[in-house]
Amino acid sequence: MGVAEVAFALGFTVSFKGIAVFPPRAMNAMPILEIHTDQYRVPLEAPLSDSTHGEMTDFGLIVVRLVDEDGRVGLGYTYTVNTIGASAVWKVIESDLTPLLEGADPSAIDMLWQRMWWHLHFVGRGGMASFAMAAIDIALWDLRGQRESLALWRLLGGSRPEVPAYAGGIDLDLPIDSLLSQANGFLDQGFHAIKMKVGRAQLSEDIERVRAMREFLGPDFPLMADANMRWGVDQAVSAANALSQFGLYWLEEPLVPEDLEGHARLGRETRVPIATGENLHSVHEFEHLMNYGHVDFPEPDAATLGGITPWVRVAKIAQGKGLPVTSHGIHDVHVHLLAGVPNASYLEVHGFGLDRFLERRLQLKEGKAIAPDSPGHGVKLDLEELKTFREATYSSGLNKGAC
């Protein structure tokens, strides 16, 4: 990116051969008039567990609403586990990003994304900055879809709304009988693929649990296993080879995603396909993983990567390498993204208990999730019901509180 491009992204006026050139912000037709952001601590209906987070009892939800001059509202959101960091993400939006959006043209999504990225670059370039940017970027895409009267999956160039989906079990501490009972419930809901957790204290326990699931589901049923970065590389190689007998569709996050050499070794020494990426928070990190490590199913999370804009970039990079992409979390948004790209794999379905606050829940038919055809992403939160759990709120612009 050249100096002029950076200046445009940051919203500065630049001079070219003595002529002042103004960035797109100066030529808005329908600017953002209001910005609302709220932070919630939402209790889970039942505790969840995995090998990294331990027991999870609640999650942080950060919601952004952008209002244009016609009163359209674009909604975006991100989340944190056990509410860790939620107040910091909200504060970045309130203090550092809201001023960049006031009066901006919401249709200039890429320019606004670059403006946010460079504004936060010294403390950002991933991490919590990407969470904050994600909530705004998702809201911008939702608003664009509403303005153009197009569902998000159509806006991205998709031709069919159906996406194969799997049930994401967060079940490391469940006894085997409860694990199988949960799997039976997933089958009753119409899922044709299931993911379970691994990463118990002893590999023999993981083998016993995966064997039980394979015997219960049958030899050809798509079964994934997720280690949540539990192992070092030697352990991961041993575990992958031990679990390969069960025909896993993929083994997810056997290592920390930054261990490129370790992933390359997994690619050389094991036969189980590897999915990873939910803990990568920039496009550059995904590029490094695909170029210098090893991954069979890149797994970007729009809510933690910086939004839809970088998610689509990762999907295009993966497509160029012949790799299918999967997803993590916020399935009500990701169903659109996977339906909108040609190299989609499975959609992960689990919402951290958010379903009870949605006006419309994800539709599942014959093992496939159906992206709604309403303008934008179609996610409508019951903000009145969520008020009970609100910990911070901020509004900027005219007619505050109108939406």
**109-132 per-position pLDDT tens digit:** 999 999 999 999 999 999 999 999
pLDDT of residue 53: 82
3-state secondary structure of 386: helix
**261-308 per-position pLDDT tens digit:** 999 999 999 999 999 999 999 999 999 999 999 999 999 999 999 999
Catalytic residue among 281, 294, 328, 331: 328
**DSSP class of residue 152?**
H
The residue written with tokens 């612009």 in the block is: 397
pLDDT of residue 25: 42
In this prediction, residue 108 has a pLDDT band, given cuts at 50, 70 and 90, of very high
Annotated catalytic, 380?
no
Catalytic residue among 119, 195, 197, 334: 197
Q: How far apart are CA 222 and CA 22, in angstroms?
A: 53
Query: H helices of 11-56, where?
Result: none
In this prediction, residue 22 has a pLDDT band, given cuts at 50, 70 and 90, of very low
- Contact, 351 vs 168, CB < 8 A? no
pLDDT of residue 71: 96
Contacts of 97 (CB under 8 A, 6+ apart): 116, 119, 120, 132, 133, 136
Between the alpha carbon of residue 376 and those of residues 148, 151, 244, 366, the distances in Å are 9, 5, 41, 25
State the SS3 of 230-252. CCCHHHHHHHHHHHHHHCCCEEE
**219-270 per-position pLDDT tens digit:** 999 999 999 999 999 999 999 999 999 999 999 999 999 999 999 999 999 9
Report the 10 Å Cβ neighbour count for 204: 10
Amino acid identity, position 206: D
3-state secondary structure of 37: strand
pLDDT of residue 52: 80
The helix, strand and coil proportions of the chain, stated in percent and rounded to the nearest 5, come to 40, 25, 35
* Domain 153-370 CATH class label: alpha beta
pLDDT of residue 15: 37
**56-70 per-position pLDDT tens digit:** 899 999 999 999 999
Annotated catalytic, 328?
yes
- Contact, 373 vs 337, CB < 8 A? no
In the chain, what are the domain boundaries? 1-29, 153-370
pLDDT of residue 187: 97
Average pLDDT of every residue of the chain: 92
The residue written with tokens 């609100």 in the block is: 390
**188-220 per-position pLDDT tens digit:** 999 999 999 999 999 999 999 999 999 999 999
